[in-house]
Structure 1
Amino acid sequence: MDFSTTMEIFVSNYTLIDNEIYELWVEGVSAIEAVCQLKGKALLQQGSNVEMLQSEIEDHYRTYSLLERLLHNPAKIKDHQLEFQIEPQIMSMLIQRYYKFDDAVYRDILGKKLSTRNRKDLDDLSERTGINILSCRRQFDNAKRVFKVVEEMPGLVVKNIIDNFALDKELAKSYATVVFLGSLRFDCTKRKLQYLSFQDLSHCAHAIMANWTCKEQGPEQDDTEFDREFLLDLKDLRVMLDKDREHKHFSLVCAKVKPQMLEKVFQDVENNFKTYTRAILGISCGLHRSREMRTLFIDMVEKCLEPWYAAHWSRADLSIFLAAYTHSALEMDALREAELRQSWERCMNVLSACLTCLHKDKKEKK
């Protein structure tokens, strides 16, 4: 009688990824804490016990720790690593989740140097926000890594981030905010700016990148470098401060806004137009100086928004005023030269986008 047995054996090093366990690892949750969070879920319902669950989680954590060094250089994963067999769509998911961030963390680091000293302050940030300290450190290190790679790289910063870190476009745009505001040293740390979210400042950063940076096609194209010729041209907007021109501008603006505003707000426009126009033009004409560009956000809050808050302007009022203010100037002889008209529009497109974004009502500022 033949008792021989035929066996077929298949050996594979295909890497298994558990989405829920990976998410906990990314968030800095320890293996023991992960067991506590998952022990009442599907793994136990399938007949496993706590020891088996802990063993499986620890095995996943070891795998993810080995993967982490690859996640630091995502662009090379596809062509230069053979250690892990992972489907491209799964690897893309791992990268996006590893580089995801909390708005509170990235809002805190905006305007700060990504230095070892500031990394040590993450304990305080973790305590304030309730975000795991390991997650805070991962997010800080990711920002520093992206910043270091693309800061001096010519070209469009979002494209450079996508090419080097394989991030999706929306995530790359967020990292571009960190790179742009950090490399050009925008001051985002003042107390009066703390009500602004990361997304608020990101909106402003991309408006500036789209309108005020070098956008020539070819090797000179770079949206982390300001168009210095344009910024210098803004000094010529001082022609709008001529007494007669200022009065004409005032008349044109009032004619446009009166039908659209409450009487109380319109009276404030009439009474304080000179103050408001000089604040806007003062900011615009000083942008060629690096120091005034760095303080752009605090200047907009202190010189423009605070007086409008005091006069109880709504965001709708502000939008109406800025649209009328911009378009009325284009009707004046003072801006008849094509280059000056273009400079005015480029400038006001950004200031209008930023001011309306930074304007918050009382509920939003809490």
Structure 2
Amino acid sequence: MIIVEAVSVLQQRGALETWGASHELLTSDTLDHYRTFGMLEKLLLTPTKLAEEWTFQLEPAVQKMVIEKYYEFDDIVIREIIGKKLSGRTRKDLDDVAEKTGVLLRSCRRQFDNVKRIFKQVDEMPGSVVANIQSSFLLPNELAKKYASIVFIINNRFETSKRKLNYLTFEDFSVCASLMMNSWTTSTITSSFNVGADGRDDSDVDREFLMDLRDFKLLLDREKEHRNMTLSHLRGKIPDRMCTEVENNFKVYSRAIINIGCALNNTRDLRDFFVDTVEKIVDPCRQSRWKGAELEVFLQVYADAGSGLDIMNR
């Protein structure tokens, strides 16, 4: 059936006229290509073996292209996968994903299998997830970074499937995961194998870091000072209307941020990080019509003001 579909597509693209071939020859040639790919695909499951295989004497540039194409994915498909277990049942239900996204079922299965394969390979490996993916699967840096964010989200079991998160894209989660991997993970490891540029093992959130976040509750004792310092540095940087918004609702914003941060040492609260952030911070900001650039300024000033209070030496 797949061969028939492929031949039909090639005919629609004018392959018969371009090459002056008969329908039978086109079908035979297409079948040969599928047979070749069937043998090649076994090596693509472990890309490092492709360079060692003499049956397919591919140029390095061609090898790189084939591997990258095989491991490419559709963001809309991965968005549906990251909130689910990488189980056989999930794979059986991929027809729902295919229907929802408009991506062919066999492509959804390939993407699911690739995610599961990479996750199983690098999940227990120490060091940089990106480096481990690149060394094991020979993927280009940007694609390896995307897979690393997937591994991080799945490994830490972040909740991404709740209805209130439906509007968030895979890129939204990927960017957040990358930032967490850079700032929330262990910076000291015992092995030098595939460590990141800063010596970081970024596969798991640093539990000591999460425990330290509880100290930010001390900011609640100096909330008035924190508010006044934030406002004094905000004026002139964002519109007056938003300064008034901060002045009137500083307690709401500040306590939401602090309470989320202080609870992250609890496994359940860490998993619900995206849910809580959207519900307690993002949604109120959207209702107050914050613009992205304005909110970024506020959060930076808020953080700087909190640091300026030097609460740990009080």
- TM-score bracket for this pair, using the shorter chain length: over 0.9
2:97 to 125, 140, 148: 125
Q: Distance in 2 between matches of 1:194 and 1:50?
A: 46
Distance in 2 (CA, whole Å) between partners of 1:226 and 1:271 is: 35
Q: 1:54 aligns with which of 23, 27, 46?
A: 27
Matches within 5 A, 1:1-366: 30-39=2-11, 40-79=13-52, 81-216=53-188, 218-219=190-191, 221-242=200-221, 245-336=222-313
Q: Does structure 1 conserve the Cα–Cα contact (< 8 Å) formed by 2:187 and 2:201?
A: yes
Counterpart residue identity of residue 157, structure 2: R
Q: 1:57 and 1:252 mapped to 2: Cα distance? A: 70
- Return closer, same or farther for 1:128/1:333 CA change in 2, 3 Å cut-off: closer
Cα displacement (A) at 1:131: 0.6
Compute the RMSD of aligned alpha carbons. Answer: 1.6
**Deviation of 1:170 (Å):** 0.9
For residue 259 of structure 1, report the CA deviation from its aligned partner.
1.7
Deviations 1:294-339 (A, max 9, x none): 11111110011111111111112211211110111122132558xx
- Which residue type is aligned with residue 290 of structure 2? W
Preserved CA contact (<8 Å) 1:177 1:206: yes
Question: Deviations 1:8-27 (Å, cap 9, x if unpaired)?
Answer: xxxxxxxxxxxxxxxxxxxx
In structure 2, the CA distance between the partners of 1:217 and 1:175, relative to structure 1 (3 Å rule), is same
Q: Secondary structure at the match of 2:50?
A: helix
Q: Is the 8 A contact 2:158 2:272 kept in 1?
A: yes
Residue 217 (structure 1) shift = 5.1
> Is the CA contact (8 Å cut-off) linking 1:180 and 1:205 kept in structure 2?
yes
2:202 counterpart letter in structure 1: D
Runs of 4+ in 1 over 3 A off after TM superposition: none
Alignment partner, residue 197 of structure 2: none
CA distance, structure 1, for counterparts of residue 169 and residue 126 of structure 2: 28
User: Take 2:135 and 2:291, find their aligned partners in 1: how far apart are those partners?
Assistant: 42
Aligned AA (2:101): T
Contact (CA 8 Å) 1:329, 1:335: kept in 2 or not?
no
Unaligned runs of 5+ in 1: 1-28, 338-366
SS in 1 for 2:191: coil
Deviations 1:155-197 (A, max 9, x none): 1111111111111111111111121111111111111111111
- The 8 Å contact of residues 16 and 23 in structure 2, kept in 1 or not, is answered as no
Q: Which amino acid aligns with 1:99?
A: Y
SS of the residue 1:260 aligns to = coil
The offset of 1:70, in angstroms, is 0.6
Distance in 2, matches of 1:31 and 1:128, equals: 25
Structure 2 unaligned regions, length at least 5: 193-199
Greater Cα radius of gyration, structure 1 or 2: 1
**Which range moves more in the overlay, 53-62 or 211-220?**
211-220
